[in-house]
Amino acid sequence: MSAARPSSTLRPTAPRHRSGRSPVRRVIGWIVKATLWFALISVLLVLLFRFVPPPITFTMIGDLIGGNGVTKEWKPLSEIDPNMPRAAIAGEDARFCLHHGFDFTAIASAAARNARGGRIRGGSTISQQTAKNVFLIQGGGYARKALEAYFTVLIETLWGKRRIMEVYLNVAETGIGTYGVEAGSIRYFGHGADRMSPSEAGRLAAILPLPKKRAAKAPRGFTRRHGNSITRRVGVVRNGGLDACLR
């Protein structure tokens, strides 16, 4: 009679630990991935708009939703009268050709004026305004300002000054539902932006900060005085070479 085989002893197995990262590390990983994807998409979008006109902006979408419609017509910088970019420089950003997107001298000066009271002024450059107009919504807090600075660096690096000015003059709001200097010139003066006089360019530049509240045709009060001031400075911009980066 054969001996019975000893029964195998059951050994308790050690509990298996689930592999993987902690919830905190997973969240950090998602944030890193989202940041990298945002950076990649934003760079590609800026590169695309270096060659292709931006088809629409958030401000335009707001006008469409509000029932105002959108009137715009793209005009290459080479077909815009030089008086218009000179007026934009005179009225909005005198050091446009000298800075790299941020004019810290103008920011400090605006802060000092605002501290004394009176009309509130900002220190945003044309580059910053272009970044905001093309890629972001109007208004907003520090998060929007941070994104504005990010896109300003991108367009200064990937576009250059001529393209920044070209895009700015084509997407800037020049009236309710009206965008770009071509549509604005037709609306107020009855002709295209290819033959604007210094006074017309000055008046159009004067309404850029508040295009829904100011009109370039028969302006009055501050708009008229500001437009006349810009008109006088158009020659200063030309003779002083302040538009050298656009030539």
Q: Read off the tokens for 125.
A: 């450059």
The tens digit of pLDDT for each residue in 168-218 reads 999 999 999 999 999 999 999 999 999 999 999 999 999 998 888 887 877
Of 75, 29, 98, 39, whose CA–CA distance to 174 is shortest? 75
Size of the chain, expressed as the number of residues it contains: 247
pLDDT band at 222 (very low <50, low <70, confident <90, very high): confident
DSSP output for the chain: -PPPPPPPPPPPPPPPPPPS--HHHHHHHHHHHHHHHHHHHHHHHHHHHHHS-----HHHHHHHHTT---EE----GGGS-THHHHHHHHHH-TTTTTSSS--HHHHHHHHHHHHT-SS------HHHHHHHHHHS-SS--HHHHHHHHHHHHHHHHHT-HHHHHHHHHHHSEEETTEESHHHHHHHHHSS-GGG--HHHHHHHHHHTTSTTT--SSS--HHHHHHHHHHHHHHHHHHHTTTTGGG-
Say whether pLDDT at 86 is over 80.
yes
Phi-psi region of 93 (alpha: psi -120 to 50; beta: other; left: phi over 0): beta
Tell me what pLDDT residue 105 has.
Answer: 83
The pTM assigned to this predicted structure is 0.85
Query: How far apart, in whole angstroms, are the C-alpha atoms of residue 188 and residue 141?
Result: 34
Tell me what pLDDT residue 11 has.
Answer: 61
Domains of the chain with bracketed CATH = 27-246 (1.10.3810.10)
CA angle 170, 132, 152 (to 5 degrees): 100
Give φ, ψ of 208 to 5 degrees: -60, -40
